[in-house]
Structure formats: structure tokens, C-alpha cells
Amino acid sequence: MLRPFTTARTIQHIARSIHYSAARFSGQPFDSKHVERAEDEVDVCIVGGGPAGISAAIRLKQLERERGHEIRVVVLEKGGEVGAHILSGAVIEPRALNELLPDWQSLPDHPLTQPATSSRMRFMTSKHSFPIPHPPQMSNKGNYILSLSAFTRWLASIAENDYGVEIYPGFAGANLLMSPTADSLDPWGNPVKSVRGVITNEVGLSKNFRMKSNFEPGMAFNAKVTLLAEGAHGSLSKQAIKIYQLRKEVQPQTYGIGVKEVWRVDPAKHRPGEVIHTMGWPMDMHTYGGGWIYHMDEGLVSLGLVIGLDYKNPYLSPYRELQRIKHHPYYRALLDSPKAERLSYGARVLTEGGLQSVPTLNFPGGALIGCSAGFMNVAKIKGTHNAMKSGMLAAEAAYVAVHPSSLSGENTSGQTPAADMTSYNSSLRSSWIWKDLYEIRNLRPSFNTGLGIWGGIAYSGLDSLFLKGRVPWTFKHTPTNTISNFQNGESLDASHTERASVHKPIDYPPFEAPLSTDLMTSVALTGTNHAEDQPVHLRVVRTSDFMRESEVGEGEEATGLDNGTALAEKIKRRRKAHVKINVDEYAGLLGRACPAGVYEYVDAEAGDKNTSEESWGGKKLVINSQNCIHCKLCDVKVPSQDITWTVPEGGGGPKYSTSRAFSVSHLKTYHLHRHHVTANGPGPEVLKTWLDVISYNASKFFQ
């Protein structure tokens, strides 16, 4: 149940209030239906503190100044600090930034310090590389090479300090707050409940869903408008898309996995501003993908690979492909030096569907913005400019929804009408975002036509150099008569995966540290941390089933495992079915595909009753959720489509930056925000984390 919250609007006061009342129930099973939550009233709640969400927040406050009506804007960010979950190393087109902050170049500490000076493309074989024509869409004249996490932090500082936006890091949007009754119509005219805000995730639950001494119920943010800016394949965005059938008239979304590293290279080999893109090796002729090398400022280089998640071979490992490409003479010449050092590593899925896969953007009470909707320009390998612009356009529609010129009164349910964001959907389709995506709409899907990879390369070259999208046809990702197969959350990319029996294991070369290393050495560079004793946020259940069970109170997040034997047995059966399909038919794909080593298919222990109930063929699934870097690959690519990514405790996950040393001050700030530190001082988990970080930094200082 929700209880009104009327004291000061600070996270410290909110957390203390919750902690005091919840501590009495320590050790008891958690029941989401009867939990007492604090709540707050906001005008616009934005879920996600990336470029799209922060741009929307700034634009809303600009409109407040321009039009004189106050508007309260709250941004919820699941990372421990803004930018912590944003992968560093990118080339940004400043078009949207120029519109949002025309005087940005005069603002202090802006990170756009390294202009792109040249752009080249090379075709790779296993031993050589050759220059090839560079598509005009990939020209980087006027663009900047930067750390995207640093850019997001800078943008957030402007939102907070100059515009008064409330940004709460460490708060993960876990559930949509729905109206109690059907009070609206979806885009297709069907009566539906509207979105009335967001509930953040519970903190302080044990693995078996019992409340620990530091338990804090998630908070309800009641909002007139809710903007989902979670990035590609966000958990709330998936819910909204399914509930309101937002993909009813479009193609399924397709994805790629981006794996990248940031290096400090030998100064003699550093070429500030140089942008290199690669095609060919190490991808085979059946796999879409390509690489990049961006020479940033301060002697840093961002390098990586994007691999289309429609790849067929279940033996492929995106991480091993990244390590393998560094063995190429072209990469080795840059990185293999006593003066070179790898600083960071990370991975994230990217939307590749383009124009054909942009869903209906508005729903009753809110809208999708940024990569939650999918605005990446595949030809440019850029999406930040489109994400920011979409946030700005949504902000303009949201401001009108909050402060309409005339009110239509209340509806029959007695509630105020849900915010109508239809104008955002139409304004985006008449903006330069639509033109940006329309020109390149056929490039990515051309690789999945009868033309094949070589034909796709040829067609893409012809279209990008000469046709520029001025053709009467639009390629599809899948035939129209199959679209209905992918409207309940199923992944088109997963359906492309072929059985292991028709492929051979890939013979990856041995690691050559420090040029290439094992996976866990790389994961250590992400700064990933999750509380160990918390519910596993990677659920073995189909997304559609997970949502249905959540609504009726049967989901894992609603009742603890030890509350119901029937549910526990259902989960064991799901795990057994998962192992049977994924080990027998796909050789344990997730064990190689996950770029953080989260999934393992290990030998089951003989004689263990619980293990035998979850195992198949002598194998069982182990989920190392502490390693998760929130890339979402598992949710997209698993052939059985029975892994659902949900948000862990707020603040958990990677801490991306271009520096190897973690900030103790940032870590302390994060824990104070989440209030694991009580009046009696920090608990043992917090102290251990602080000591680990201090020890790590000390070891680096004295090396």
C-alpha cells in the first residue's frame, strides 16, 4: 500500500523514513501487495539518466523559464552515479547539443575537447588490411571523440546545477505504476490502464525474498508524465511495448552487441582525432559486424567490435572475437608496447533495426525516448544525437501535457485524464531524426536478404554513395506474415540462431597478456558490484509470463521462494527445460555469448535432489549475477527466450569510466544515497566495499 509522503524531498529523509518502519519486519517474507511504500508527486518522471533522459529534463526546465509555469522534473538513474552505466569511447555528432545548449562551447569543463580530424575505413583479412571507400554517412567532419560517460556526467551537472533538475542515482525503475482501472485508450482504441508513474526497486531483500535489517521498500513516484529512457531493451520499455502493443504495425527490433576497451597507448603511436572503422575479419561471411579505433585526447584510444545478434553460430563468443582482433598486425602495432595499458572494458547491446523498427512512441501517460525506442543510425554507428533530440521533442509534448491550454475535466473513473503524448509521436516523424533514419533504412537489412553478406556490402556501398535512400522500396527484417511471432517479447535475433550440430566450435587463439586476457580479468576493469545476498535479477522465465505472473502476484518478485512450494517447483522445471534446450541443441550458447561470464552450464552433483530437479543430461545452470554488466545480451539472444533481465538493487552494476581507479568519494556518496549507512554507522557490507576500493587504489598508487 502507498502512504503519503509530505516531509522534505530529499533522498536521505525518504530513506530514513522507510528504514525505520521496515526494520521491524527483518527476516519476514516480502509481499509486494501489502508493502508500505513512501510516495512522491512529480510532474515528469524520467527513467534513465543517459543523454536522452538528461536532454529531456533540461528541455523541460528551459520551457519552464520560457513559459513561466513551474514543472517538477525527476530523473531516476539505476547506476550508482550518472554515467556509471554509459560505455566510454564514442564519436558524437553535436547537432542536438547545438540546439539544446547553443553556448555549450563556452560552458566550463565540457568534455568535447577532441574534434575528429579524419575518417577512414579498412577491410581486414586475417593478416592484412586494405583501405576501402568511406561511406559519406560515416564522415565525422564537425564531430567529437569523447568519453560518453564523461559527457553524460557533464550534461547531468548542467541539468542539476543550472536548471534545478532532481537526479537520483542508485534508484532503479522496477515497475510501472498503473492506474487502478482502465481509464484510457491505447493507440489502437482499446480500453487500458494508464501509466501513472514508476515504482523503484526494493533494497535489502535476501536471495529468498526475505527482508533484511537494511530493507527499504521501493518508492512510488506518481507522475503526470513518465518518459522511459532506459537505453536498448530496457525492462520497463519492454513492459510498455507489450502492454500497449506499440510494435503492432512495425518490424521487430534487431540488435548488435558492442564490446569495447579503452587503452592508453604509446604517445608516439597516438594520433588525436583519427577515426578508423573496419569490416571483414574476424567476422566470417555469415556474420554481420565491424570494428573501430577512435583516437581520443589525453593519449587514449577506444577500440571495439559490434556484432549483429542475428549471428547463426552458437559457438561464437563476442568477447573472444574482440580479443582475437587485437592479435591482427594492424591492432598489434598500436597496442603491443611497454608504454600501452588497457584501462577499461565493457559491453552493451545496440539497437540496429532503424526506421522499420521504431514503434509507436506514445502510450497513455508517457512515451519512449532514446534507445528505448531505437534511434541509432547504423551507417553512422551513432545514436546519441538522435537520442538527445527525441528527448527534447518528448519534453515539449510533456510540458504541454502537464500545462495544457485548457483542461478537459475528469474522466469517468474520477481520475484526471492520462497525459496524451500523441504530439510527440507525430513531431518526431517530421523531425530530422526521421530523415536521418530514412536515408539509411535499407543498409542493415540488406545483409539479411537473398543478397547475403557480400551482396549486402555491395548494396550498402551503392546506396550510401549514390542512391542515398532515394528508392521506392524498403527492405524488411522479417516477412510481414511473421511479425506477429515477435510481438509478445520474443526476439527476432534469437530465431536466427542455428543448432550446434550444423556448426563446428571456433578455434580461438590463446590469450597474450597484456594484449589479450581472459574474461574475468577484463570484467574486473568494469568495476561491477552487486550485493551478493539479493534476489537474482536474471530470471529464468519468458518475459510475457513474468509480466502476467507479476500482475496476479505469482511472480518471483511478488512472493518469496519459501512462501510457496508450487512456485519453487515451477522455477525448477523452468531451469530444467532451459538446460535441456540450450545445452542439448545450442551447446550452452550463453556460456560463450555473455561478455561478463554470468552464465555457466556446469556438471550437476550426483545425489543432490535439488540439483537433479533442475539439471538435464548431467548439466545444470549457474547464474553468476554478481558479474552482470547490464548489457542485456542474454535477454535478446538466448534461443529458448526464457531469460528475462530485470533491474537489480539500485546502484548495482558496472562503474564505467576511462580511469582504472574507482572513486572512493563517489562510492561513499552512492551508499549514503541508498542509506545502507544508518545512524549507527556503515554496515559490514559497506565497510568491506570501501576497504576493497581503498586497497585497490592504494595498490595502483604504489606500483
SS3 state of residue 664: helix
Q: Which one is catalytic: 594, 625, 644, 657?
A: 594
Choose among 73, 12, 14: nearest CA to 42: 73
Choose among 54, 165, 171: nearest CA to 653: 171
Choose among 359, 348, 345: nearest CA to 390: 359
45 is catalytic: no
Distance CA 189, CA 446 (A): 35
Helix, strand, coil percentages (3-state) for the chain, rounded to 5, are: 35, 20, 45
Place of cell 514503434: 359
Q: Which one is catalytic: 129, 444, 575, 628?
A: 628
Phi, psi at 686, each rounded to 5° = -65, -45
Angle between helices 11-22 and 664-674 (to 10 degrees): 50
Residue 141 per-residue DSSP state: T
Beta bridge partners of 343: none
344 is catalytic: no
669 is catalytic: no
Q: Which one is catalytic: 254, 317, 384, 516?
A: 384
384 is catalytic: yes
The β-bridge relationship of strands 191-192 and 184-185 is antiparallel
- The burial class, CB within 10 Å (0-12 / 13-18 / 19+), for 254 is buried
Angle between helices 384-402 and 432-439 (to 10 degrees): 150
Choose among 537, 545, 543, 566: nearest CA to 628: 537
Angle between helices 384-402 and 422-429 (to 10 degrees): 140
Q: Which one is catalytic: 460, 631, 658, 689?
A: 631
348 is catalytic: yes
Choose among 565, 571, 633: nearest CA to 598: 633
Q: Which one is catalytic: 441, 634, 646, 657?
A: 634
CA atoms within 13 A on the CB side of 17: 19
Task: For the chain, report the end-to-end CA distance as a whole number of angstroms.
Answer: 54
Q: Which one is catalytic: 196, 320, 342, 348?
A: 348
Long-range contacts of 133-137, Cβ-Cβ distance < 8 Å, separation of 24 or more? 133/461, 133/465, 134/277, 135/379, 135/460, 135/461, 135/464, 135/465, 136/464, 136/465, 137/377, 137/379, 137/380, 137/439, 137/440, 137/464
Q: Which one is catalytic: 32, 88, 149, 179?
A: 88
CB under 8 Å to 242, separation ≥6 — which residues?
487, 488, 489, 543, 544, 547
371 is catalytic: no
328 close to 144: Cβ distance less than 8 angstroms: no
CB under 8 Å to 96, separation ≥6 — which residues?
55, 384, 385, 386, 387, 388, 389, 392
The residues annotated as belonging to the active site are: 88, 348, 384, 594, 628, 631, 634
